[in-house]
């Protein structure tokens, strides 16, 4: 496979995809996992902020 910048920054000697999951369901799977992690972080943050706001009133 090779590192694409070994020969001065051209991509001529690179054969095949650099990302091993290209052409499979991996990009979609990783995107779904990332979306779920973001939504969980937002939900936990909202719950914590709502609890702090209700105590502050």
Gap between the Cα atoms of 8 and 6, Å rounded:
6
Q: What is the model's pTM?
A: 0.62
Q: Which long-range contacts (CB under 8 A, 24 or more apart) does 13-18 make?
A: none
Six-digit token string for 31: 């995107």
Checking if the pLDDT of 41 tops 70, the result is: yes
Six-digit token string for 37: 């992690």
Six-digit token string for 11: 């991509």
Six-digit token string for 46: 């909202």
Phi, psi angles (nearest 5°) of residue 20: -65, -25
Q: What percent of the chain clears pLDDT 70, i.e. is strictly above it?
A: 72
């Amino acid at each position: 496979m090779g590192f694409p910048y070994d020969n001065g920054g051209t991509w001529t000697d690179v054969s095949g995809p650099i990302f091993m999951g290209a052409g499979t369901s991996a990009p979609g799977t990783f995107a779904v996992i990332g979306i779920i992690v973001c939504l969980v972080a937002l939900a936990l943050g909202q719950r914590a902020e709502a609890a702090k706001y209700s105590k502050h009133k």
